[in-house]
Structure 1
């Protein structure tokens, strides 16, 4: 990351610059290389400004990831399109865009080093991942109410399928396009969640049609 020139920033402007520098440095390097010195240089400020407010780079990473301006802040609201497919495409397209931003790229080393930083990973999971999963569950619940989704197929695990697939794709290809989002929704999520007859229902329907005979 190119260091920002030193300025007389204060308050929220300085905080945002520090947060953004933290996420960009983490995304560019790794937890092992992240330090207050490097963050301060990238943000164009003195390292004393960091030491006064945060006890460690881990604490600063958490603050940056949960900040509304630079991090994830509040999760997106359910789109309310009236269609499971459209809702999923809207939410997962937003997620794909996020993965290509500093906040999204910073998640990759966090996941890779989760065993070395378990407390930070757990706090980010609770603050960032779980609220987003609840939004997907809400969208799936609305689809159940409309008869689009089978309630037996809606679970925390099924709500994580789409984001996990996109995260792996971003990790391997560096970015995720809209076509990939649509493919995940159409080829995986909608078939997975759709309300459809069980084998027993199929058999009963076949027997019923056979008993009815030709018309």
Structure 2
């Protein structure tokens, strides 16, 4: 090593590493406060970068929130395939347990203020519903249709209202207790969803 050469200074995060740090900081800040209090200044400080890095990529905090929520690294990313456990009970428990886990992470906690205050920002919530909530609801509907084909569910009970019931109950449990016990998920499936869907 050349003694005349100064020690190498670590380079700043770039590319996916920087985008991931910004996305995570956005979701954590949103979960901690509210969308009204969200700003590029706060996010930049939390992400350990400058505001210019944010302005180069996004025009508004709303754009940044949607990017973070749909990013595979920090948000909900690609919609998972149906669990394929072979039983309706197994599929429902797998999907709702996955949701319960996500609601304890920054991506899930960030959804709370967006859902609770959707009337304040209807356009933003519409994007959240279309890009995050609706695709996962479609997976649940697929699971119910498959169960109806196997004879485990009554075809007339395969509706969006019943498909949405499980996620709503799990979300409410998370709001009330800040945690969803695995036994609670099983109880929701066994005591509420299966009796509703049974032929």
| Fold shared by both chains (TM-score > 0.5) | yes
Q: Find the partner of 2:56 among 47, 52, 56.
A: 52
Q: Distance in 2 between matches of 1:168 and 1:81?
A: 26
Q: Which residue of 2 aligns with 1:126?
A: 130
Aligned length: 190
Say yes or no: does 1:38 pair with 2:42: yes
1:112 corresponds to? 116
Q: Which residue of 2 aligns with 1:27?
A: 31
Instruction: Give the gaps of 5 or more residues in structure 1.
Output: 1-5, 196-215
1:7 Cα offset (Å): 6.4
C-alpha displacement of 1:177: 1.2
2:177 to 170, 173, 187: 173
Q: In structure 1, what is the Cα distance between the partners aligned to 2:48 and 2:126?
A: 30
Distance 1:40 1:192 in 2: 48
What corresponds to 1:72 in structure 2? 76
- Give the ranges of 4+ consecutive aligned residues of structure 1 lying more than 2 Å apart after TM superposition: none
Structure 1 residue 128 displacement after superposition: 0.7
Which of 184, 188, 192 is matched with 1:188 structurally? 192
Q: How many angstroms apart in 2 are the aligned matches of 1:165 and 1:76?
A: 20
Residue 151 (structure 1) aligned with residue 155 (structure 2): yes
Considering only CA atoms, is the larger Rg found in Structure 1 or Structure 2?
Answer: 1
**Root mean square deviation of aligned Cα:** 1.1
CA distance in 2, matches of 1:96, 1:76: 15
50, 63, 67: which is aligned to 1:63?
A: 67
Per the normalisation by structure 2, the TM-score is 0.93
- Please give the per-residue CA displacement for 1:68-96, whole angstroms capped at 9, x wherever unaligned: 11111112211111110011001100010
**1:27 alignment partner, SS class:** helix
Q: CA deviation at 1:31?
A: 1.1
Are the structure 2 counterparts of residues 7 and 121 from structure 1 closer, same or farther at C-alpha, using a change threshold of 3 Å?
Answer: farther
1:91 partnered with 2:95 = yes
